[in-house]
Chain A
């Protein structure tokens, strides 16, 4: 290591030698950097899982344009949309099909743990609006009170979920009715609900008698091949000039919801703050360690000054220390962060993991911020006056 650094720097790796000379301080600094890294990784992991889990329900469906109420910031919120708009939209030559989509949370009393499932009511004859995995099984929904259950739902054991088949369905009580799951699909717990449930629109309406078949939560449209969703959305906006509606391409709807969850929702904002705090903790720790190190070596630095070493040399030494701390602290940081996220993922069934891009970003950030706090720490060097040495 020492030799490699000497090659790299073209001088003695004083920063490195100084760090390893004081092992206690070195270890403390590394754990500090690692700790800051863990904070950042956990928050980033949560943020990105929020993105992933926000998009999860969008992937159950296939559509090009989504018509929602103006206040529908997410798939599960906001008012209804009159079904008549779907018929209006179908007048556009590029719109080939439409489907109403109902959404609500369905509680499931499971004794010890009550869970709630984000439940979609769909037209069981419109397999073309569903992702292939689900589309194949949608036929069972034609039976009243039939359901397709999320096998990754929180609170559902793997054995329990695996046992669900047409021959051995799972029945449960909700909203005063008995629902029967004949099949499963892969959803997963999110931040809003513990999992997902698919039922027919008829079953949905009998679960929620107050809702009307003429007013679904969203309208999903499919376009003719080659049509531009954005262009059609713009056309539909002039065709249906109703300010209480939100007409967007399906892709835009996904982007907008992720942005909304991460910047408008308290949870999203808190995760963002967590990242900030992690970065600050890291900066403060590296600064503390390096400025204490500079203070401890003031006489030696003053001697180097007397010998003719300039500011750039000292900056180089301290930044060398900072970069080493950043790089070496990152390793335990990423390992611990990965471990904690894996554990959290197991408990919460959220898609928590460290992506390669995330790791690279955090690594670069760690090194850059360490170097910055190292630069600040060199300010103490001004106190090293070589005239005081004699």
Chain B
């Protein structure tokens, strides 16, 4: 049952890779509900299935077994067009920044806005500049990625993910390239978005200091959800 209070609801979720002899189960019977506006961190050893779960929840991969309800929509048997539409309400932050080399920082961020349809140019330019300013890049608006440091590029990618006010942010070790101050700034920004707009964040990270700021910490082990710890209060 869709529930307004939850951005993500997964139940009895299983996933396999490969076929025949090589078929291997990566996720086992995952049950998970993520509240609107919460900041959730996921940890687990390499190969435990964190990325796989993130791609399933973000409708980047087809659901094979079980159910995922994302923003009130069942993802199992969803059409590609439905997936595309739903993805516009998400913000993805990948480990690699994947910025477009021929677009400036501001233009890369604008791509996150334009996907929602035509928006007035002045307004969207201002929104992009605002987000980059929040990320400490106010003086780098018109730089091409080639002229930015690794951390700056990653911040542009974060700006691109959040500029469109997504309902859910899915992030896979987004702070690896950032120093602690910047990483803390990004985490605070995402938490503020959660409070102000109900944006939920699900972030894979191994940084203990980020763990300390999480509302909730999930632990994956060999494809199973083995820990779920409430960190508030």
**Which of A6, A10, A22, A389 has a CB less than 8 Å from the CB of B98?**
A389
Whether, in the assembled complex, A304 has its beta carbon less than 8 Å from a beta carbon of chain B, the answer is yes
Given A308-B115, A390-B94, A12 and B107 contact (CB-CB distance below 8 Å): yes
Q: A-facing mask of B44-70, CB < 8 A → 1, else 0? A: 000000010011001011000000000
Contact A386 B114 (CB under 8 A): no
CB of B23 within 8 Å of the partner chain: no
Q: B88 contacts the other chain (Cβ, under 8 Å)?
A: yes
Q: Which residues of A contact B110 (CB under 8 A)?
A: 12
Q: Is B126 an interface residue (CB 8 A)?
A: no
Residues on the B chain within 8 Å of A387, using CB: 55, 60-61
Task: Looking at the assembled complex, report how far the CB atom of A20 sits from the nearest CB atom of chain B, in whole angstroms.
Answer: 8
Task: Determine whether the beta carbon of B100 is less than 8 Å from that of A309.
Answer: no
Q: Are B102 and A299 in contact (CB under 8 A)?
A: no
B51 touches A14 (CB 8 A): no
Cβ–Cβ contact A12 & B114, under 8 A: yes
Do A308 and B98 touch across chains, with their CB atoms under 8 A apart? no
B87, A12: Cβ atoms closer than 8 Å: no
- What range describes how many residues of B lie at the interface? 20 to 34
CB of B112 closer than 8 Å to a CB of A = yes
- Interface of chain A, helix or strand or loop or mixed? helix
- Give A17 to B107 CA distance when docked, in angstroms: 10
In whole angstroms, how far apart are the Cα atoms of A307 and B81 in the complex?
13
- State how many angstroms separate the Cβ of A141 from the closest Cβ of chain B: 72
CB pair B107 A307 closer than 8 Å: no
A308 touches B87 (CB 8 A): yes
User: A10–B88 Cα gap in the complex (Å)?
Assistant: 18
Q: Is the CB of B60 within 8 A of A386?
A: yes
Indicate if the CB atoms of A307 and B98 lie closer than 8 Å.
no
Across the interface, B92 reaches (CB within 8 A) one of A12, A297, A306, A309, namely A306
Are A300 and B98 in contact, with the CB atoms below 8 A? yes
B-to-A contact residues, CB < 8 Å: 51, 54-55, 58, 60-61, 81, 84-90, 92, 94-96, 98-103, 107, 110-112, 114-115, 118, 121, 160, 172
A interface, CB within 8 angstroms of B: 6, 10-12, 14, 17-18, 20-22, 297, 299-300, 302-304, 306-310, 386-387, 389-390
Of the A-B pairs whose beta carbons lie under 8 Å apart in the complex, a sample of 13, sorted by A's number, is A21-B102, A299-B96, A307-B160, A308-B84, A308-B90, A310-B84, A386-B60, A387-B55, A387-B60, A389-B60, A389-B96, A390-B94, A390-B95
